[in-house]
Amino acid sequence: GTTTYLELGPDAALTPMTGQTLDDDTTSLVTPALRRGRPEAQVAVEAAARLYAAGRSVDWLAFYEGTGARRVELPTYAFQREHYWLVGNGGPGDVSAAGLAGAGHPLLGAVLGLPESAGLWCTSRLSLATHPWLADHTVSGVTVVPGAALVEMAVRAGDETGSGTLDELVVEAPLVLPEHGAVQVRIGVADPDATGRRPLTIHSRPESAAVGDPWVRHASGFLSEAVTAPGAAFAQWPPAGAEPVELDGFYERSAASGLDYGPVFRALRKVWRRGEEVFAEVAVAEQEQAAAERYGLHPALLDAALQASTFCALSDADDGAGVRLPFAWNGVALHATGATALLVRAVPSGSGVSLELADPTGAPLATVGSMVTRPVAAEQLGGTGAARDALFRVDWMPVALSSTPRPADWRELDVTAEPEGSSVPEQVRTLTGRVLAAVQEFVEDAEPGSGPLVVTARSGHPATAAVRGLLRTAQLEHPDRIVLAEL
């Protein structure tokens, strides 16, 4: 039955031979106390450590005797919650294994062609874990996918069918991202209609939804193959006669109105105004510059161009109706991709604004024929993510003890005082013994139908922790007779 062996000798001569004599050397520990050519003290300590790790007793007091070492209490410390394991980011991975084609776009996961049809579906999965920069766009405290991102996904879906111009996109409902979990997004591009345009729809639903659950339609519109001529290059910058506009407090005022931009969406750098024209410089945040090259036009850049357009003199821009979000887009066309900075020209166009976007050299990048905003009501922000959340969470709310209704004939036992005894085990033993005796006396002597025994215990002391365990056991036997009130 012996499983642990310590070889006492000038070297480990016998240790390797034990494999020939022990019946089961896989469960045995054999270690030498000395090794030839190695420091004696080091080998001896290593042997003691191996024995101790295998569950054998080591007399550490004797080990440290004469060294001046003494026992000390371990200090408390903050848990840093640092992860050392790989965490999946929920990305699409190799979608070809599921019979799909990868979209090669940060906001889209896969492209699904349709048999006997020239249409297709683009799929996406959006969450604050996979796309954390979207958390920098909140409306009334709710994360809303910006309209610029819907435009980017629509144009990318159109590129798959050779219809890269977004003739029209009407946003019918905000696409809200939940704090936890993800939403599934589907961008559908149908066959061309009689005019040659392709109908487009954008739907979403929570990732936790069942197969048959309904989808929410967020936007609809049309794509076409029409080639939009780029605007003229910006030969002079800033344009002659343009007066600079002060931007101090712009994002603070926006947040106060309910539209709060985080660092990624605070891309507006400079603004000038010349009559009804507004000119601006925008640049994507440093943490998104590498990713911007994978977009047609990064949504933060296009959104910043819309921010600049708020300086245009629009008649309904300050109607006091609350937060305004993009509602209708017309004539959106990209002339180049992968920009990290833009020059912007915005001018009023009917009830909206038109945009010309160029790279820092003045070369045309994109045009927006018209963009119209409209107010968003708070009830519209229920969103896809809030529709179904089967995971309930605990929310602790403090309640004053005095506000708890008390039966007229209850009996109270207070164990909040510091327990007696010199050591923690003695305090536990004394306090639990006193409470057990009181509970037993109450159960034996209380009249049938009388009020309960209410025990008040203060959290945080080991002795009261033991009392709580004792009382919970008593409650299982007498659920209507014993009440535990923790402070």
What is the CATH number for 304? 3.10.129.110
What string of DSSP letters covers 352-415? EEEEEEE-TTS-EEEEEEEEEEEE--GGGGGTTTTT-------------GGGS---TT-EEEE-
On whether residue 92 sits in a domain, the answer given is: no
Residue 74 lies in a domain: no
Do residues 330 and 452 share a domain?
A: no
Q: Which residue has the tokens 């605070």?
A: 266
Note the pLDDT tens digit of each residue in 314-332.
Answer: 545 555 567 899 999 999 9
Q: Looking at the structure, do residues 60 and 141 belong to the same domain, yes or no?
A: no
Same domain, residue pair 252 and 389: yes
Q: What is the pLDDT of residue 177?
A: 94
153 assigned to some structural domain: yes
Same domain, 307 and 419: no
Q: Which tens digits make up the pLDDT trace of 122-159?
A: 999 999 999 999 999 999 989 999 999 999 999 999 99
Residue 263 lies in a domain: yes
Q: Indicate if 416 and 481 belong to the same structural domain.
A: yes
Q: What is the pLDDT of residue 277?
A: 94
Q: CB 79: neighbour CB atoms within 10 A?
A: 5
Cβ of 487: how many Cβ atoms within 10 Å? 11
69 within a domain of the structure (yes/no): no
* Same-domain check for residues 310 and 438: no
Q: Quote the percentage of the chain above a pLDDT of 90.
A: 51
Question: Could you tell me if 336 and 458 lie in one domain?
Answer: no
**Which residues of the chain register pLDDT less than 50?**
315, 384-388
For residue 482, tell me if it sits in a domain. yes
334 plus 229 within the same structural domain: yes
Using the 3D structure, point to which of 363, 393, 423 is the last residue of a domain: 393
Write down the pLDDT at residue 413.
Answer: 82
Domain-ending residue, one of 393, 427, 444: 393
Predicted structure pTM score: 0.63
CA torsion 269→272→278→279, rounded to 10°?
Answer: -60
User: Does one domain contain both 265 and 210?
Assistant: yes
Contact 150, 108 (CB under 8 A): no
Q: Is 280 in the same domain as 418?
A: no
Same domain, 56 and 172: no
Number of domains comprising the chain: 3
Distances (CA, A) of 275 to 226, 236, 347, 467: 32, 17, 9, 77
Domain coverage including residue 444: 401-486
